[in-house]
């Protein structure tokens, strides 16, 4: 959907199936820390794709594990 080819990519995926369509919006970055401006831009895209903020999942940074796992 959008990228600067150096730091980030925003991916939008829609799958149509017989049961129910599925929509995904992903922010992929080369750095572990996301700039506030990029995060704001991503958050503004969420409602335009028919998604809500309660659907947002932020995965742990590479190499991080919650206590009691891994």
What ranges do the domains of the chain cover? 2-53
Q: How confident is the model at residue 18 (pLDDT cuts 50, 70, 90)?
A: confident
The first and second tokens of residue 46, run together, are: 């969420």
Nearest 5°: CA angle at 41, between 55 and 33?
Answer: 85
pLDDT of residue 8 exceeding 80: yes
pLDDT of residue 24 exceeding 80: yes
Could you tell me the pTM of the whole model?
0.74
Residue 65 and residue 70: Cα distance in Å, rounded? 7
Cβ pair 9, 34 in contact under 8 A:
no
- Quick one: average pLDDT of 5-28? 91
- Quick one: average pLDDT of 27-50? 92
Residue 22 and residue 28: Cα distance in Å, rounded? 19
Q: Across all residues in the chain, what is the average pLDDT?
A: 87
């Amino acid at each position: 959907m959008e990228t600067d080819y150096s730091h980030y990519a925003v991916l939008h995926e829609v799958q149509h199936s017989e049961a129910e369509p599925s929509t995904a919006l992903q922010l992929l970055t080369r750095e572990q820390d996301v700039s506030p401006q990029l995060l704001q831009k991503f958050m503004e895209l969420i409602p335009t794709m028919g998604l809500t903020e309660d659907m947002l999942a932020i995965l742990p940074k590479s190499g991080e594990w919650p206590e009691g796992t891994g």
